[in-house]
Structure 1
């Protein structure tokens, strides 16, 4: 039996209201929210081609890039363009958007085809991240830019510090290399100072040296991460 958007809204009003409460936003046009929740598998089964969330997902993807880019531009004046790009990418990738979707139990509200539902589609990061973008697109269409900014900031700002620290740690070796190359035309060296623990759970201690001077050290469960932590330690000592 075919179901159009209006009949779905009528049947799902209580559920849609529950999601509105979780999002902290009341829609003027509930059809937008309903459409954001319709996966292509459901639309196909109901012979409602085009009545899925893919166009809203496209819009939400662009809106998130703009809003988060604008937020980072004003919040982290000291960061370079490349660093801002990486930080934004870490906030709008599939894994993080799926995490945002799970925080509002978005999977529970999706309209999925029977096969997709039976194959745990409500837990799939790919489906959740796309649906989250579609919801953002729906909010933009319904309430405009300022409304989306308020909602995105509320959900994403708590993750900014953690993501920035992850980015800076992951980028520490290249940043230290650039710093020393630019100033001295020479790069640092890394050495493993020690290994502790059983073979399946080793902890490595690594130091980074430059011109026979130890600049920093780090400990981690892999040599690569220990090197990054050593480089981060060096940067903390070298930079004001």
Structure 2
């Protein structure tokens, strides 16, 4: 039972969180920048900073003193020493590109015509290109994680499946063995289970160990062994 519960927990914890867009599941693991990291690209005297599907980390960007967590893209103009809103996480249009070729993320600024477009294309390669057309910044990104996420046979999944099958097999063997011993030897109660004495000793050992851990100062009596106080 303990092994079954442990294997279930490992299988549960090994699952990756999925993002659902238009009913399709995607795995964006490791694409979202955290803490003080951002994606950036420089055009002449200005630098575009952006994050992927998450608010921008703007506090440490030079010329930007934005503490709000609603920006997904900002442009820092080094010549002016200023920072401009290019897109906000709560002002967006996100949809699947035709034939599941990827996802189009478009984020709009407030009070300006500036916007950020991320064309996230399904591809076997990882390649990013950034372009600018007036105040519209476009990121063309080819990446495997832009593909619709299917089921993956991970090592953790295979291991847990093997453990579960092994447990089921042992239970079937024990059950058949119990029936056979009952029919052939007419034993009753727990004695019908194969190796019941070994199992009883195993759980007894665990119980005694737990008692020692919980109450180390209490003398642990045993019919077969002497306690330390009895040995001196």
| TM-score by shorter chain over 0.5 | no
Larger radius of gyration: 2
Please give the range of the TM-score, normalised by the shorter of the 2 chains: under 0.3
1 or 2, which has the higher helix percentage?
1
- Taking structure 2 as the reference length, what is the TM-score of the superposition? 0.20
Structure possessing the higher relative contact order (Cα contacts under 8 Å, 6 or more residues apart): 1
Higher strand fraction (1 or 2): 2
TM-score, normalised by the number of residues in structure 1: 0.19
